[in-house]
Amino acid sequence: MPAIPTYRSSEYVTITLHSHLPYVVNHGTWPHGLEWLSEAAAETYLPILRVLGELEREGIALKAQHQPFSYSAGAVISSRLQRRVSQVRAAQDHSRQQDQKQFAIAGNAHMASVAEYWQAFFDEVLRDFNELGGDIIGGFRHFNDIGAIEVFTCAATHGYFPLLGTDASIRAQVRTGVETHKKHLGKAPRGIWIPECGYRPAGSWTPPVSMNGASPRAFQRAGVEQILAENGLEYFFIDTHLVEQSAIFTPYEVAGDVPVALELEGEPRASFYQPFFADTPNRRQAQVAFFTRDPRTSIQVWSGDHGYPGDGDYLEFHKKQWPGGHRYWRVTGPKVDLGEKQAYHPEWARQKTRDHARHFVHIAHEAISKNPTTPGVPPILTAPFDAELFGHWWFEGPQFLAHVAREFAKPESPIKLITCGEYLDQTSAQGLPRARRGIMGQERH
């Protein structure tokens, strides 16, 4: 199959989608068992695959890092999921028909047309699912193979690394994620999403709780980056606050067993817009880069109050028609009571995804231009989000991603999309960061 090329540019953006679906196989159906998996498949994974297919036919690529599902979610290609999707589809058909009858009786022609919209949407979802033979992983593997996306891995059960009591626990989390990735994708991953962006450097560590009544005793721990390097991983992601302060913190330089943090007044802060190598005791053997979340584009996308999903024309997530659960209302306003929500107009929402994609490109360029990086190093803006935001929580999210890719692909755009792996192939990480003393990450959702 032909590979999608990487285009060189003076500015880059990389979008990262990571999943948080827990292990749900063999945990029943509703509300927290296979129902979660079937919802994610219908509302997020399959719509994103459809978008990737549309872009491929246009000769465009999203070039995102994509961890399309937590491997702890279980057998996404199982026959059990196929049966459950078929069952859910039959129930949706019945409830949608009942809704349409009620709207028609009430003389609400517009709501009846929205019911028809849902019929077409779920017909398309089921058709896509059947064309894949239920193999959602195989769908993402195709786009990974041609370079349209770069699938990365995750920890086995999303264990929070800074609080896991032994290095063996972290190694098991990472090794399982890597090996599962190889099994399903046919190649080793280059990057990983560490749970909750929780990074901990090497050094002395004291358990936060006592064991068997004995007082906790400190002992030496490996840095997260060392364990990632052992498993062949090249990059991970951290949250903004770990590099937003102008301080050098090297935990391997100590004075009286106390880590030394050196504040540099008058120096510019470490850039969010280039990767750095995580400092480590053995820098030659463990060169693992990290990419930092850009704050402005993050809040613009994930925030329901200040971001795109809160726009009044988008589908309201929380208001559903009883008993089938279909949604027929739009956000109207983020503070509007559910009883005051207005009718949803799919065509209005589609237009907003185009407008917001253009705005996203604009603010990305603005953020890069206002924040200098190392001379001669092309900046890269990192925009990581929960995968389930796109489609499940923000129904129009996949359409937004498609328009973002189209905007960046325009010849006049000074910014191009790139994956983290491709960026590292072109431009090495720039030395060590001037990072904040904090060691624990906390994601924003």
pLDDT in tens, 362-412: 999 998 988 777 788 899 999 999 998 999 999 999 999 999 999 999 999
pLDDT at 250 over 50: no
> Averaged over 324-347, what is the pLDDT?
92
pLDDT at 253 over 90: no
pLDDT band at 430 (very low <50, low <70, confident <90, very high): low
Identify the pLDDT of residue 258. 39
> Averaged over 411-423, what is the pLDDT?
94
- Within a domain: 103: no
- Within a domain: 119: no
Identify the pLDDT of residue 215. 85
In whole angstroms, give the CA distance from residue 177 to residue 183. Answer: 10
> Averaged over 171-200, what is the pLDDT?
93
Rounded (10°) angle between helices 397-409 and 346-370: 50
Tell me which residue range forms the domain holding 175.
1-74+136-208+218-445
Q: Which of 235, 243, 222, 163 is nearest to 438 (CA)?
A: 243
> Averaged over 142-159, what is the pLDDT?
92
Highest mean pLDDT among 136-145, 320-329, 396-405: 396-405
pLDDT band at 75 (very low <50, low <70, confident <90, very high): very low
- Within a domain: 6: yes
Identify the pLDDT of residue 442. 42
- Within a domain: 120: no
Q: Which positions are catalytic?
A: 196, 386
- Within a domain: 176: yes
Highest mean pLDDT among 69-83, 131-145, 247-261: 131-145
Of the listed ranges 25-34, 117-126, 197-206, the least confidently predicted one is 25-34
Identify the pLDDT of residue 256. 41
pLDDT band at 199 (very low <50, low <70, confident <90, very high): very high
Q: Are 294 and 382 in contact (CB under 8 A)?
A: yes
- Which phi and psi (to 5°) does residue 204 adopt? -70, 135
Contacts of residue 61, Cβ cutoff 8 Å, sequence gap at least 6: 4, 55, 147, 148, 149, 405, 417
Give percent of the chain above pLDDT 90.
47
Identify the pLDDT of residue 33. 66
pLDDT at 356 over 90: yes
- For residue 255, the cross-strand partners are 258
How many other C-beta atoms lie within 10 A of the C-beta of residue 411? Answer: 4
pLDDT band at 10 (very low <50, low <70, confident <90, very high): confident
Of the listed ranges 90-104, 115-129, 285-299, 320-334, the least confidently predicted one is 90-104
Identify the pLDDT of residue 24. 65
**How many CA atoms does the CB half-sphere of 59 hold within 13 Å?**
3
pTM of the model: 0.87
Give percent of the chain above pLDDT 70.
81
pLDDT at 82 over 80: no
Question: Distances from the Cα of 114 to the Cαs of 19, 108, 343, 444, in angstroms?
Answer: 29, 10, 9, 33
- Within a domain: 105: no
Structural domain count of the chain? 1
- Within a domain: 289: yes
pLDDT in tens, 311-320: 999 999 999 9
pLDDT band at 259 (very low <50, low <70, confident <90, very high): very low
CATH number at residue 399: 3.20.110.10
> Averaged over 320-340, what is the pLDDT?
90
Identify the pLDDT of residue 326. 87
- Within a domain: 110: no
State the DSSP code for 197: G
Q: Which of 368, 359, 364 is nearest to 403 (CA)?
A: 359
